[in-house]
Amino acid sequence: MGLTSYDLVIRNGKVVTGVTQTWFETDIAVKDGRIVRIGYLKNVSSDVVIDVKGRYVVPGFIDMHNHSDLSIIAYPEALNSLMQGVTTLVIGNCGFSAAPVLPKSLNDIKRFWSQLSLGISVDITWSSFDEYLRTLETVKPAVNIVPLVGHGTLRINVAGFDDYLSNEDLEMMKELTVDAMRAGAFGISTGLIYPPGSYASTNELVELAKVVSSYGGIYSTHIRSESHRLLEAVEEALEIGLKAGIPVEISHLKAAGRPNWGKVKEVIDLVRKYREYGVEVNYDMYPYTAGSTSLIALLPQSLYRDGFDILISKLSDKGFRNEVIKLVESSSDWENLLKILRWEDIVISYSGSCKPCEGRSILELSRELGKDPYDIIFDLICSDQGRTLMVMHFMNEEDLIYGLKQPYSLIGSDSLVIPLGMGKPHPRFFGTFPRVIKRYVKDLGILSLEEAVAKMSSIPAQKLRLNDRGIIAPRFKADLVVLNIKNIEDRATFEDPNKYPVGIDYVIVNGVISVSEGEYVGVRNGEVVKNLTT
Ligand SMILES: [Zn+2]
């Protein structure tokens, strides 16, 4: 008998499988992209052997909440994700997917996306969801891609930015949803603070969720409110789960704004209650007490009805500005973030037109320029054509810790693939996954390493029904990370976010080493993963 030959053998790792509560020291053999043997491997031949004695080997991280639908085409190396040990991105979140794009909706969908894209522009050359996934395959990303279809995108295709949706429109949205699910989507996402998604009735969402459920997909949702009406918003999501018989994933769970701190505990009580009713509900979190979104999300949702371009052009008018301010200060029947944010809580993280504004709060800018804070915001939205991004410091860490400790939580970065130096983005773009280990495992002892790893690999895989990823076991895809617990650190901070972490020593994607001793080796071996339950 000859030697068994493998493509890769990892020796002497402290292996955390994703499904057991204790690490064990063993060797792992990989062939044709999959883990084929685990155990003490004596007489083997292998193209590549790495000895990782003293270091942990864990499943590659699955980023449950990512927005790289377009940017992965411009930056297929995905370095800000890959260097964190992320091997799979779940895209299409918060109602934003890059497909479908019916020809008449191309311009609106481009505008819709511009609020999340920083300065990255990508030509939309596809129409159907299937064509989009094939485009992703041709760019050969460095990480695996798991797509969701976005409700906001679907809605623009049938009704633009109109709040009214006819029965025929809804039927057409269902057809587009079927197309996306047949092409391989893992579910539908909603972004219920972003027009036109925010115009949807609960019933519209139930109807679409039923379609998705019949194809084995999930309902992932940026809920209607993360502040004053947090509990009602969670309840709406859970009722959709109950009525449509669909697994629910609540995106970036938080209690935003000082008066709402402490409410995460009540959310968890609701989660438990609905789990007893039979709703499979989970939620993702990122390990920071600040959020981030487009600056334009501060404007009342009712103002978008004529589309983005008209709203932005009206915003240069003083009279219109005063109307906006009146609406912001008097109404709260929408996710009015300015009701919970102080000017010092809002920090500009990306501006194409004002680089010196990046990293500065609205309060600082207002004092420095002797301008009203509202005018700072309106001027930036106008000069950036709605592309300005902000960081919002509005959560407390006790809520975060309470949520993280529960068995239902998993980790999502809510970031997108970007190159170094694109503004001063939220540090979650560069540090989410190492930070969970550095701060919540090592420094604070909130989670064991095994628990943290499960929340970043096997639990999201289970949620998505990825049946051959997220766990270290024979026959599973060899998405693996070798990490050094001694020096692991997310180096990205709010002041200086453009930094890769340290301590993520190897990243292996589908059996191929992509990061070696902390350096990207120039290999892109991700796959576009399709949900083909039909
Ligand atoms: Zn969101």
Please give the distance, rounded to the nearest whole angstrom, from the Cα atom of residue 113 to the centre of ligand 1.
Answer: 13
Please give the distance, rounded to the nearest whole angstrom, from the Cα atom of residue 56 to the centre of ligand 1.
Answer: 32
Query: How far apart are alpha carbons 183 and 132 in whole angstroms?
Result: 10
Please give the distance, rounded to the nearest whole angstrom, from the Cα atom of residue 132 to the centre of ligand 1.
Answer: 22
Please give the distance, rounded to the nearest whole angstrom, from the Cα atom of residue 114 to the centre of ligand 1.
Answer: 15
Please give the distance, rounded to the nearest whole angstrom, from the Cα atom of residue 53 to the centre of ligand 1.
Answer: 40
| Band (172; pLDDT cuts 50, 70, 90) | very high
Domain ranges of the chain: 61-289+395-466, 303-391
Is the pLDDT score of 466 beyond 90?
yes
Determine the average pLDDT of the residues in 345-370.
97
Please give the distance, rounded to the nearest whole angstrom, from the Cα atom of residue 414 to the centre of ligand 1.
Answer: 7
Bridge partner residues of 27 (DSSP): 39
Determine the average pLDDT of the residues in 132-139.
98
Tens-digit pLDDT profile for residues 23-32:
999 999 999 9
Please give the distance, rounded to the nearest whole angstrom, from the Cα atom of residue 62 to the centre of ligand 1.
Answer: 17
| CATH 3.20.20.140 for the 61-289+395-466 domain, yes or no | yes
C-alpha distances in Å from residue 387, one per residue of 317, 377, 406, 417: 19, 12, 36, 16
Is the pLDDT score of 306 beyond 90?
no
In the prediction, which pLDDT does 4 show?
82
Determine the average pLDDT of the residues in 142-156.
98
Tens-digit pLDDT profile for residues 393-451:
999 999 999 999 999 999 999 999 999 999 999 999 999 999 999 999 999 999 999 99
Ramachandran category for residue 98: left, alpha or beta (phi over 0 → left; psi -120 to 50 → alpha): alpha
Please give the distance, rounded to the nearest whole angstrom, from the Cα atom of residue 251 to the centre of ligand 1.
Answer: 6
Parallel/antiparallel/unpaired status of strands 389-393 and 409-411: unpaired
Are the beta carbons of 495 and 290 closer than 8 angstroms? no
Please give the distance, rounded to the nearest whole angstrom, from the Cα atom of residue 525 to the centre of ligand 1.
Answer: 28
Are the beta carbons of 149 and 179 closer than 8 angstroms? no
Counted residue by residue, the chain has a size of: 534
Asked if omega into 76 is within 30° of 0 (cis), the reply is: no
Please give the distance, rounded to the nearest whole angstrom, from the Cα atom of residue 82 to the centre of ligand 1.
Answer: 21
Query: How far apart are alpha carbons 44 and 21 in whole angstroms?
Result: 29
Query: How far apart are alpha carbons 471 and 66 in whole angstroms?
Result: 21
Please give the distance, rounded to the nearest whole angstrom, from the Cα atom of residue 248 to the centre of ligand 1.
Answer: 15
Q: What is the mean pLDDT of the chain?
A: 96
